[in-house]
């Protein structure tokens, strides 16, 4: 009888300790999930100081490529006078000047701030299902932003001045377009255009990645949730 009680007590103690260890692990996962979500939401703010995209143009008459960095609220030279020189080259084929301001520059900063605040609030709330919702919204906004970028490039490269000094046509006789690529490199006559994400875009991608990892950690913690200690006791007895 004493041996049975001793064994029962030992089993109960072992299960209780195991239960506490598992609870500590789950608490750690949930805490990590919230912290990762918080960091991910704050990463968005880096877009105010880091460029989203970089476009370069290799031209025979320039030793180094001409470039411009696109931020969420402005377009700036990669090197002094780069945009001015690009505009001079583009003028000959009838392309418009690179705009100093676009409507998106008035909208994007508010979107970034709103999503960052929302993401941080969700991190404090700690509901992992909402982390996934935030991730989906960010993917949707990012996709819309890239599509808008494509439309701007298409308009920029195809809406040409009919009175341009130089006129080029495709093989079918239609006016040649000078649209730079959204991503990658492209030969345009004797020029090469390069278009790649900047560090600001990388911070957005990392932000979305962090939010998805936070969701997975929160989901794993929920799946591994153990039974209450009083149920462990009843099962043991």
pLDDT in tens, 52-71: 999 999 988 888 999 999 99
**Average pLDDT, whole number, for the chain?**
84
Provide mean pLDDT across the span 170-198: 89
Task: Give Cα separations from 181 to 45, 57, 98, 153, 188 (angstroms).
Answer: 26, 11, 16, 8, 10
> Angle, to 10 degrees, between the axis of helix 199-223 and the axis of helix 2-43?
160
* Residue 172 pLDDT grade (very low, low, confident, very high; cuts 50, 70, 90): confident
Q: Which residues contact 35 (CB under 8 A, 6 or more apart)?
A: 123
pTM of the model: 0.79
Q: Does 13 have pLDDT greater than 60?
A: no
Q: Does 212 have pLDDT greater than 70?
A: yes
pLDDT of residue 1: 52
% pLDDT > 70, the chain = 81
Domain boundaries, the chain: 2-236
Provide mean pLDDT across the span 15-37: 58
The CA distance from 156 to 137, in Å, is: 28
> Angle, to 10 degrees, between the axis of helix 229-236 and the axis of helix 2-43?
150
- Any bridge partners for residue 193, and if so which? 57, 186
Query: How many residues are given for the chain?
Result: 237
Q: Higher model confidence: residue 228 or residue 84?
A: 84
Q: What are phi and psi of 75, to 5 degrees?
A: -120, 130
Which has the minimum average pLDDT: 21-25, 71-75, 92-96?
21-25
Q: Higher model confidence: residue 117 or residue 165?
A: 117
Q: Which two tokens stand for residue 163?
A: 């009175």
pLDDT one-digit tens code per residue, 82-129 = 999 999 988 888 898 998 889 999 999 999 999 999 999 999 998 889
């Amino acid at each position: 009888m004493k041996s049975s009680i001793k064994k029962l007590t030992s089993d109960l103690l072992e299960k209780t300790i195991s239960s506490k260890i598992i609870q500590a692990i789950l608490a750690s996962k949930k805490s990590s999930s919230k912290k990762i979500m918080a960091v991910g939401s704050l990463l968005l703010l880096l877009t105010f100081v880091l460029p989203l995209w970089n476009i370069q143009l290799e031209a025979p008459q320039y030793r180094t490529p001409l470039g411009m960095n696109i931020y969420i609220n402005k377009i700036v030279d990669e090197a002094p006078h780069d945009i001015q020189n690009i505009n001079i080259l583009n003028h000959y084929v009838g392309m418009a000047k690179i705009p100093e301001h676009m409507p998106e520059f008035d909208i994007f900063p508010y979107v970034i701030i709103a999503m960052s605040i929302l993401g941080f609030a969700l991190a404090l709330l700690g509901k992992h299902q909402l982390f996934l919702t935030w991730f989906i919204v960010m993917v949707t906004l990012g996709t819309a932003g890239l599509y808008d970028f494509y439309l701007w490039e298409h308009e920029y490269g195809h809406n040409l001045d009919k009175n341009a000094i130089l006129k080029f046509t495709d093989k079918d006789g239609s006016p040649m377009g000078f649209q730079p690529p959204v991503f990658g490199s492209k030969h345009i006559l004797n020029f090469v255009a390069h278009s790649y994400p900047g560090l600001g875009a990388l911070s957005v991608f990392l932000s979305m990645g962090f939010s998805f990892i936070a969701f997975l950690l929160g989901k794993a913690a929920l799946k591994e949730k153990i039974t209450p200690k009083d149920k462990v006791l009843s099962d043991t007895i």
